[in-house]
Amino acid sequence: MSPRKIGVTEVALRDAHQSLMATRMAMEDMVGICEEIDQAGFWSVECWGGATFDSCIRFLNEDPWERLRTFRKLMPNSRLQMLLRGQNLLGYRHYEDMVVDKFVEKSAENGMDVFRVFDALNDPRNLERAMNAVTRVGKHAQGTICYTVSPLHTVEGYIEQAGRLLDMGASSIALKDMAALLKPQPAYDIVKGIKETYGEDTQVNVHCHSTTGVTLVTLMKAIEAGADVVDTAISSMSLGPGHNPTEALVEMLEGTEYDTDLDMDKLIKIRDHFKAVRPKYKEFESKTLVDTNIFLSQIPGGMLSNMESQLRAQGAGDRIDEVMQEVPRVRKDAGYPPLVTPSSQIVGTQAVFNVLMGRYKVMTAEFADLMLGYYGECIGERDPELIKQAAEQTKKEPISVRPADLLEPEWDKLVGEAQALEGFDGTDEDVLTNALFPGVAPGFFKTRPDGPKNVGKTAEQLEKEKAQASGAANAIREPIQYKVTVGGRSQTVKVEPA
């Protein structure tokens, strides 16, 4: 009997650098290895969405739509995959339904195949429009369950949630473990339960980060339970707050009844490419390697590196442990939302404010909206006193309807706003870019033709740093005493190091 094939989604081009180096990798460091990635045999290649769109225009002066078109051209044989935040798309607010439809349509036109659609709160009302839009354009709609742990989250609840996603027309189910919380046994139970409840032909994909150190075993147990596809990152872009190594998965399955059919020669070339590239982004890297405290804080990999950076900017880098202790308290107050973009940023930023300024002395506008229901429903009850504080601060009433139901049609208005901007190219893609990031897009449109393309270090800069480090290693570090004789008289001279 031949081994059962396990599909692999390679995340080096998106979630790996988002989690390890604050999404700073420039396109010029990816294009040279796309041919090998295309030929390695992956089920899909995750390369777009998540925080990459924001980072492209905020830091890299790259057009994210051109990035997608380039990937499509360079990887013609691969399923390209993106992460889509349901009604939030790739921004940080809810968008009116027509904008959601237009974004999905344009993403498909520009080359996207697989849309991993999730909602930060697991509120199915926030997923349905985007899922339907993906189905309408004939692409793969992957309904996503954000895995988290709380007194209210159960294996049975996750299995039931998978059924709701299948009812929406999901082509597959993704179990998304963004904080490395998914332990082996729950993974086995959830995947097995989905298969037994909805049929063995229900495709289940499993996504785990590696931060807590347990999730390579989790992937194995998920595979044994029937998982069809798992996410990994090439080893030179793996571990820490990132993902489990692709090659390690291949080796782990050797001699079992499962096989990935990946081309190891291609994997080695991909590994060596990113091994050479990664030092350019050292200044953005998270310092975290393994952190079992995350079982308490539940902070996802992509959030961890950004939160460390946020604290350092405030001169409070030494208070990260306090913030990690505060995060679960804030999360409980908010009704136990899963921590994934944007809820992770909202809860994490509020936790930072609580530590630096006192608990809820300052409530961010986003956290107030979360408390009032403007991001959707949480599984738990929200703190009534904080709901009252949020209402008083924002002059808004709490809501229980789908947040997007309160939005007026906005496409024509968004077109008008984009047309007024210098550098606007007249496309729907530019309209969407400005709609998602109106504070950043106008500056990007102006600098797009001739602005800097890369925030990483060049080969010359790295060589200079290496030489300087070598010089420093040979530098004098201790005082040296010389005995000097002049005109028959001796004196001792002490020379201090520079």
> What pLDDT, on the 0 to 100 scale, is given for residue 324?
84
Q: In this structure, which topology does domain 298-402 adopt according to CATH? A: Cyclin A; domain 1 (1.10.472)
Q: Are strands 80-84 and 258-259 parallel, antiparallel or unpaired?
A: unpaired
> What pLDDT, on the 0 to 100 scale, is given for residue 452?
64
Beta strands in 79-135 (DSSP E): 80-84, 114-117
Are residues 25 and 63 in contact, defined by beta-carbon separation less than 8 angstroms?
no
Q: Is 80 exceeded by the pLDDT of residue 347?
A: yes
Q: Are strands 204-208 and 80-84 parallel, antiparallel or unpaired?
A: unpaired
Instruction: Return the H-helix or E-strand segment holding 247.
Output: helix 246-252
Q: What average pLDDT does the chain have?
A: 91
Average pLDDT over residues 161-171: 97
> Tens of pLDDT along 311-340?
888 888 888 889 888 999 999 999 999 988
Upstream peptide bond of 279 is cis (omega within 30 degrees of 0): no
Q: Report CA Rg, the chain.
A: 25
Of 89 and 489, more confident: 89
Cβ neighbours of residue 115 closer than 8 Å, sequence gap 6 or more = 81, 82, 84, 104, 107, 130, 134, 139, 140, 141, 142
Q: In this structure, which topology does domain 2-282 adopt according to CATH? A: TIM Barrel (3.20.20)
pLDDT tier, 490 (very low <50, low <70, confident <90, very high otherwise): low
> Tens of pLDDT along 133-146?
999 999 999 999 99
Q: Is 60 exceeded by the pLDDT of residue 493?
A: no
Tokens of 97: 């339904």
Cβ neighbours of residue 445 closer than 8 Å, sequence gap 6 or more = 421, 422, 423, 424, 425, 430, 434
pLDDT tier, 477 (very low <50, low <70, confident <90, very high otherwise): low
Average pLDDT over residues 97-120: 98
| Whole-model pTM over 0.75 | yes
> What pLDDT, on the 0 to 100 scale, is given for residue 300?
65
Q: Are strands 480-486 and 489-495 parallel, antiparallel or unpaired?
A: antiparallel
The domain spans of the chain are 2-282, 298-402
> Tens of pLDDT along 260-291?
999 999 999 999 999 999 999 998 888 888 88
Share above pLDDT 70 across residues of the chain, in percent, rounded to a whole number? 91
Handedness of CA 419, 421, 427, 433 (dihedral sign): negative
Are residues 256 and 267 in contact, defined by beta-carbon separation less than 8 angstroms?
no
